[in-house]
Amino acid sequence: MATGTNQQAAHGAPRIVHLDKITMGGFEIPRPDIAHEWIEHDFTEPHDVAARLAGAQVAIINKVRLDAAMLGSLPDLKLIAVTATGTDVVDSVAAKAQGIEVRNVVGYAGTSVAEHVMMLILALARGLVPFRNSVVDGQWENGRAFCVFAAPVRDLVGQRLGLFGSGAIAQAVASRAQAMGMDVVFAGRQGQPAGEGRMAFEEVLATSDIISLHCPLTDDTRHMINAQTLAGMKAGAVIINTARGALIDLDALENALASGHIGGAGIDVAPVEPPPPGSPILRLAQRDNVIVTPHSAWLSAQAVTEVARRTGENVATFLAAR
C-alpha cells in the first residue's frame, strides 16, 4: 500500500520514497519542514523498485537491495537513507560513483540488544521454556510434588561469559553480566595469540559457560561457530547470537545440541530472513533448550523511535544543504 504526501508539494519539490515501511513497525519517520512529496510503501518486491523510485531524489530503505544496475537506472536519486546500521544492501561503490550519498543510523540499539542478550541468558540458565511448558501441559497440576524438576537450573554468579566482539553492544552486555556476578572475558581473533584485555579465541571457547557473538559478518567470521569450534567448547555451554545469522553453522549446532555437548542456544538472527520453511533455525526452535526470536533484539520502543528520529534528521539535513 502506498500513501501520498504529508503536505502539498511545491513544483519541483523533492520526492521522498520509503520502500519498506513495514520494517519500522508502525513508528513514523519525521517529515522534513521544506515542501516535499512523501510516498510510502509497506513492502516492495525487487521487480517494483525501479518504478517506485523513478523520479525520486531520496530513497528510504531497510532491506531493499539497490545494486549497481538498479542505481544506474535512477538518475534523479541523490540520497539513500538506510534505517539501520548496516549498508550492505546498497552497492556503495556504485552509489559514490553516481554521486549518491548513503546515510545510515548507528548506535541506536545498544541498550535494547544488550537487554535481549541478558534475557536469553537468564531464560536458558533458569530453564524458562521447559518450566513454562510444565505448567501449560499439566505436569504441575497433575504431579505429586509441590514443584516440577523440568530442567537443570544454574545460577549465573561465577559463570564465565565469553564475548566475541568488543564494540558498544558487547561492552553493554559485559557491564550487565558483571553486575550479576559473572566472570566476563573478551575473545581475541581466531588463530591469533592473546592480547591486552583479550583471551585467546580457543581458550574462551574451552572455558566459557556461555558465549555471546557480537561480530560483524565477514569472510573470516562466516561460520566461525562450526563443527570444529563447537567441539572445542566447554561441555554443556550455551551459545547466544544476536549479531548475524551466518556466524553459526546451524546444521553443526543442531548436531552438537542433539549430542548433548552444547547445552542450549539463544538465537535472534538467521542466515536468511525471514527463514524459508524447513530451515535449520526453525527446527532448532522446537527444542526446549533453544530460544529463537525473530530478529527482535533491536526493537525496543526507545530504539525504534531513535531510528525514526535520526532517519528523519538524515533526510532533512541533506535536503536543507542542497
Only one residue has cell 537491495, namely 65
DSSP track, 173-207:
HHHHHHHTT-EEEEB--TTS---TT-B-HHHHHHH
DSSP 30: P
Instruction: State the maximum Cα–Cα separation within the chain, in Å, rounded to a whole number.
Output: 77
Question: Is the CB of residue 60 less than 8 Å from the CB of residue 36?
Answer: no
Of the candidates 244, 254, 306, 310, the residue annotated as catalytic is 244
d(CA 41, CA 52): 9
Question: Is the CB of residue 192 less than 8 Å from the CB of residue 219?
Answer: no
244 is catalytic: yes
Nine-digit cell string for 248: 553459526
**Which residue type does 225 have?**
I
How many Cβ atoms from other residues are within 10 Å of residue 191's Cβ? 9
How many Cβ atoms from other residues are within 10 Å of residue 117's Cβ? 28
Q: Kindly tell me the sign of the dihedral angle through the C-alpha atoms of 269, 271, 273, 275.
A: negative
Of the candidates 101, 295, 309, 313, the residue annotated as catalytic is 295
Nine-digit cell string for 209: 559457560
Classify residue 12 as left (phi > 0), alpha (psi -120 to 50) or beta: left
* Catalytic residue set: 244, 273, 295
